[in-house]
């Protein structure tokens, strides 16, 4: 049996006035997802336990079968693992976003304009991060380049700090209202403030402004934590696994649990990602002897944070037509039994532009090699004997109506693998 999870980050939503009171999952033309749901099992799962913040870190660990209450130490340490940083026990890793702040006000009165600086390229970001390291780095402070706007700061021999707000949660808001007030955090705030002087007139940003793009004129530190301690996935579930993702968080989780981390050169973490490349990477991993593959797609979450209503709908359609369709064709060509689970990690409602801990819809479909009744799925057709396309879609309401509810997120993986 081969096991495939397709994690559509932030896919689920709440009914939107701008979408006629519907959700992107309801509106999207996604015949393959809908057919799989109709032929399989659907329900709701609480991926973020009460009292935990609904971040992709917590939610994806839960989906993978790990209890965040027992193993979670912070977001950035997982991303640091992807970059290749070996943390010491007393190190503290911070996510370091390159962001766009408003320009004219004193630091604490500036507003968070863009948490990703117009999706700055990794090449541009690398130049800026090297400048930050040169001006702000030291023997105890080391800045590392990640991907696009997502980078890392490691503080050696660090004490405890307060909680820093994720920049995507404070868009268009005055940043001073979201800065920790405790004295231990003064040094971190000072770094953020000093970064403005380093970045605002940097040639990379001068060129970006000239080309009509937002400048990456500051860093924002958040998501801190210490070295993670996660059980090996193969030891926990008896399956050799692979991770397919464009973002450091998921690649880091994959490394921390001993998975093979697949390279997809065209993967971007946004709607322009190489969907077919992700499908091919997953199929290659399965054909190469892996038993389990986790395909993470960031695009719906990014669209949710940006309030891009039509693009979020479109992202689901692209996942269906350009990832799921070739994946199904390839799986049937391999000729082995397989199970697929499709779900988001959390909801990212368009009207809120941030994560919430609503239970999320999931589907599980199982195929036996040689079973011709599943072949209509390759065309997105309903295999339930009705012909044509399914007249019911996979969305939040249909999953709720199915009546199956998994209250403890890590139990979903046990159900999927059983």
What are 36-57's pLDDT values in tens digits?
999 999 999 999 999 999 999 9
Residues 220, 142, 97, CA angle at the centre, nearest 5°? 20
Distance in angstroms (rounded) separating the CA atoms of residues 338 and 3: 6
**Nearest partner of 242 among 187, 279, 202, judged by Cα:** 279
**Which pLDDT value is given to residue 180?**
82
Query: Which pLDDT belongs to residue 285?
Result: 98
Distance CA 118, CA 121 (A): 9
Confidence of residue 162 (pLDDT cuts 50, 70, 90): confident
Output the pLDDT for position 329: 94
Report the distance separating Cα 48 and Cα 55, nearest Å.
8
Confidence of residue 375 (pLDDT cuts 50, 70, 90): low
Tell me the sheet residues that pair with 49.
none
- Nearest 10 degrees: CA dihedral of 125, 130, 131, 135? 140
Q: What is the pLDDT of residue 372?
A: 74
Residues 303 and 324: their CA atoms lie apart, in Å, by 20
> What does the pLDDT read at residue 184?
72
**CATH 3.40.720.10-classified regions of the chain:** 2-72+229-417
Query: Is the pLDDT assigned to residue 303 strictly greater than 60?
Result: yes
Segment 90-115, tens digit of pLDDT: 999 999 999 999 999 999 999 999 99
Place of tokens 């309903």: 382
Can you tell me the distance from the alpha carbon of 77 to that of 91, in angstroms, rounded to the nearest whole number?
10
Element (H, E) at 361: strand 360-367
What is the distance between the alpha carbons of residues 402 and 398, in angstroms, rounded to a whole number?
A: 6
**Inter-residue contact 355 to 54 (CB < 8 Å):** yes
Report the largest interatomic distance among the alpha carbons of the chain, rounded to a whole angstrom.
Answer: 67
Three-state DSSP class for residue 196: helix
pLDDT of res. 370: 81
- pLDDT at position 128 is 98
In this structure, which topology does domain 2-72+229-417 adopt according to CATH? Alkaline Phosphatase, subunit A (3.40.720)
pLDDT number for residue 389: 60
Q: Does the structure show a pLDDT above 70 at 383? A: no
Please list, in sequence order, all residues whose beta carbon lies within 8 angstroms of the beta carbon of residue 142, skipping any fewer than 6 positions away: 133, 153, 154, 156
Cβ atoms of 260 and 312 closer than 8 Å: no
**Helix ranges, 72-199 (H):** 76-83, 122-136, 186-199
Q: Is the pLDDT of residue 222 over 60?
A: yes
Written as six digits, the tokens of 220 are 């924002």
Task: Tell how far CA 233 is from the center of its chain.
Answer: 19
Number of Cβ within a 10 Å radius of residue 96: 28
**pLDDT score of 134:** 98
Interhelix angle 248-256/56-63, rounded to 10 degrees, is 40
Q: For 326-369, what is each residue's pLDDT tens digit?
A: 999 999 988 899 999 999 999 999 999 999 999 999 999 999 98
Is residue 396's pLDDT more than 60? yes
Tell me how far the alpha carbon of residue 379 is from its chain's centroid. Answer: 28
At 105 the three-state DSSP class reads coil
Quickly state the pLDDT bin for 135 (edges 50, 70, 90).
Answer: very high
**What pLDDT sits at residue 287?**
95
Measured from the Cβ of residue 299, the count of other Cβ atoms closer than 10 Å reads: 26
**Position 386 pLDDT exceeds 60:** no
- Residue 185 confidence (pLDDT): 83
Q: How confident is the model at residue 391 (pLDDT cuts 50, 70, 90)?
A: low
The average pLDDT across 161-166 equals 87
* pLDDT of amino acid 277: 98
CA distance 299 to 281: 18
- CA neighbor of 271 nearest in space, from 24, 14, 19: 24
Q: Which two three-digit tokens encode residue 405?
A: 């509810």
Using CA atoms, how far residue 307 sits from 92, 150, 300, 347, in Å, is 32, 20, 10, 13
**Nearest residue to 221 (alpha-carbon basis) of 179, 276, 181:** 179
Neighbours of 167 (CB within 10 A): 28
Centroid of chain to Cα 416: 21
Tell me: pLDDT of 385 over 80: no
pLDDT band, very low/low/confident/very high, at 404 (cuts 50, 70, 90): very high
The answer to whether 135 and 200 are in contact (CB under 8 A) is: no
pLDDT at 388 over 80: no
Nearest-angstrom CA–CA distance, 6 and 319: 9
């Amino acid at each position: 049996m081969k096991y495939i999870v397709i994690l559509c980050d932030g896919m689920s939503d709440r009914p939107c006035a701008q979408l006629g009171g519907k959700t992107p999952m309801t509106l999207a033309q996604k015949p393959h997802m809908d057919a799989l749901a109709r032929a399989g099992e659907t329900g709701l799962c609480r991926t973020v336990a009460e009292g935990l913040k609904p971040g992709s870190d917590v939610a994806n660990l839960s989906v993978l079968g790990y209890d965040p209450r027992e193993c979670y130490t912070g977001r950035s340490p997982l991303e640091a693992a992807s970059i290749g940083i070996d943390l010491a026990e007393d190190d503290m890793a911070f996510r370091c976003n390159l962001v766009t702040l408003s320009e004219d006000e004193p630091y604490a009165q500036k507003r968070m304009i863009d948490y990703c600086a117009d999706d700055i390229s990794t090449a541009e970001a690398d130049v800026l991060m090297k400048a930050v390291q040169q001006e702000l780095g030291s023997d105890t402070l080391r800045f590392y380049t990640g991907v696009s706007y997502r980078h890392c700061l490691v503080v050696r021999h660090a004490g405890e700090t307060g909680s820093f707000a994720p920049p995507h949660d404070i868009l268009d808001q005055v940043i001073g209202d979201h800065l920790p007030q405790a004295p231990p955090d003064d040094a971190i705030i000072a770094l953020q403030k000093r970064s403005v002087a380093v970045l605002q007139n940097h040639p990379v940003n001068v060129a970006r402004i000239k080309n009509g793009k937002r400048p990456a004129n500051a860093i924002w530190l958040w998501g801190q934590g210490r070295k993670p301690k996660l059980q090996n996935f193969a030891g926990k579930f008896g399956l050799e696994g692979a991770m397919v993702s464009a973002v450091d968080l998921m690649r880091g989780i994959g490394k921390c649990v001993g998975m093979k981390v697949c390279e997809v050169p065209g993967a971007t973490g946004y709607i322009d990602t190489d969907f077919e490349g992700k499908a091919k990477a997953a199929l290659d991993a399965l054909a190469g002897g892996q038993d389990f593959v986790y395909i993470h797609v960031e695009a719906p979450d990014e669209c949710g944070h940006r309030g891009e209503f039509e693009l979020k709908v479109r992202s689901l359609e692209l996942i269906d037509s350009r990832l799921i369709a070739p994946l199904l064709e390839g799986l049937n060509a391999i000729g082995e039994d397989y199970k697929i689970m499709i779900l988001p990690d959390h909801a990212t409602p368009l009207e809120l532009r941030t994560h919430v801990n609503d239970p999320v819809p999931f589907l599980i479909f199982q195929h036996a090699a040689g079973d011709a009744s599943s072949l209509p799925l390759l065309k997105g057709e309903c295999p339930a004997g009705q012909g044509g396309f399914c007249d019911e879609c996979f969305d939040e309401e249909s999953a709720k109506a199915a009546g199956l509810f998994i209250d403890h997120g890590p139990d979903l993986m046990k159900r999927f693998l059983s």
